[in-house]
Amino acid sequence: MEALLQKIETYRREIEAFPSNENDAAEQFRIAYLGTKGLVKSLMGEMKQVPAERKKEFGQVLNEFKQFAEAKHEALKAAGAQHAVSTTATIDLSLPGDVIPVGSRHPISMMRHRIIAIFQRLGFSVAEGPEIEDDWHNFTALNLPEYHPARDMQDTFYISTDPAWLLRTHTSNIQIREMEKGILPLRIICPGRVYRNETISARSHCFFHQVEGLYIDENVSFADLKQTLYYFVQEMYGNDVKVRFRPSYFPFTEPSAEMDISCQLCKGEGCNVCKHTGWLEILGCGMVHPKVLQNCNIDPEKYSGFAFGMGVERPALLKYGINDIRLFSENDVRFLKQFTGLV
């Protein structure tokens, strides 16, 4: 019994000294002293060892001890609440938040979106096709049969030769795939990445991006083509841009043309970018060749159409004042960060 009273006295001192600076001090205290496995409970278990004549006395001591522990628990709870209040009070709500770095759109994506959006306003819808292509869709159906000299115009990356699988050299493959579906009229704009085996330099790369356009219906004329492209350049470059068409050759169009716009940098005066001509070539176009229509089971007597294809890199270089095409694919964060916030 004396030993027990001694023990209780020691616990009392422990409780007095129980630290209140921990966040969950009250809860820790409750578990240690007042919980179902706590000290008070276990002291109560000692009651059976106390001789009968001293049970009452021990009961009183124990009761006081319990009340003492409960009072301490209340005090710790109050201190904890106080602590919480004082920590919130020290938060300075006027401090600026952490800066979360945001990504940026790639200049090629932005330019592709601008081009697409203009044609969408004219009723064109977006169509896409595979980058790994067969010979038929990239060449043969486009009136570029085997041994056609025009195949040399585009240095092709072949994946296999028999049968031929290749990385598409232009987005014109999408024209064929869409015409083959046989749903007419057809009015599509086809963005995509294309590949050519060219030496990488500031001006050319072994991959780049194109946007192809195709319109097939009854009575589509060259005038429709010109008007569509006039609309495009005015939306893209403003009302005072000048346009010229030069006769050209593409196997898949007849007649074919290339379109130039007045140089946006020197306004036609002549500068390095336009090689002192005052003009910049921006796209190839023409009336879809009857053979191409036939290859896709479209009756050239009934239907006609125009097509055009343009690069995305060139207009992006001009718009953002970039002088090296390699920057587009090097993923240098310092370069990419400059476009943050632009759409």
Nearer to ligand DAH, 65 or 308 (CB): 308
Going by C-alpha positions, the residue among 35, 32, 2 that lies closest to residue 14 is 32
Binding segment for ligand DAH (CB under 6 A), chosen from 71-79, 117-125, 284-292, 327-335, is: 284-292
Question: What is the phi/psi pair of residue 326, to 5°?
Answer: -65, -25
Q: Does 119 bind ligand DAH (CB under 6 A)?
A: no
Nearer to ligand DAH, 62 or 283 (CB): 283
| Alpha helices per DSSP H over 167-239 | 172-180, 222-237
User: Site mask, ligand DAH, residues 218-257, x = CB under 6 A?
Assistant: --------------------------------x--x----
Nearest distance from C-beta of residue 317 to ligand DAH, angstroms: 17
Q: Does 192 bind ligand DAH (CB under 6 A)?
A: no
Nearer to ligand DAH, 30 or 196 (CB): 196
Q: Does 284 bind ligand DAH (CB under 6 A)?
A: yes
Dihedral (Cα; 268, 273, 276, 277), 10-degree rounding = -60
Q: Does 196 bind ligand DAH (CB under 6 A)?
A: no
Q: Does 129 bind ligand DAH (CB under 6 A)?
A: no
Sort 61 into a burial class: Cβ within 10 Å, 0-12 / 13-18 / 19+: middle
Cα angle 268, 234, 242; round to 5: 25
**Whether 252 contacts 288, CB under 8 Å:** yes
**Cβ atoms < 10 Å from Cβ of 23:** 11
| 215, 232, 279, 308: residue in contact with ligand DAH (rule CB under 6 A) | 308
Nearer to ligand DAH, 72 or 170 (CB): 170
Nearer to ligand DAH, 27 or 180 (CB): 180
What CA–CA distance (Å, rounded) separates 267 from 279?
Answer: 9
Q: Does 212 bind ligand DAH (CB under 6 A)?
A: yes
Touching ligand DAH, residues 24-63 (CB under 6 A): none
Token output for 58: 């021990």
Nearest distance from C-beta of residue 337 to ligand DAH, angstroms: 32
| H-helix or E-strand spanning residue 294 | helix 290-295
Residue whose tokens read 């995509």: 192
**Cβ atoms < 10 Å from Cβ of 127:** 20
Would you tell me which residues interact with ligand DAH (CB under 6 A)?
170, 172, 212, 250, 253, 284-286, 307-309
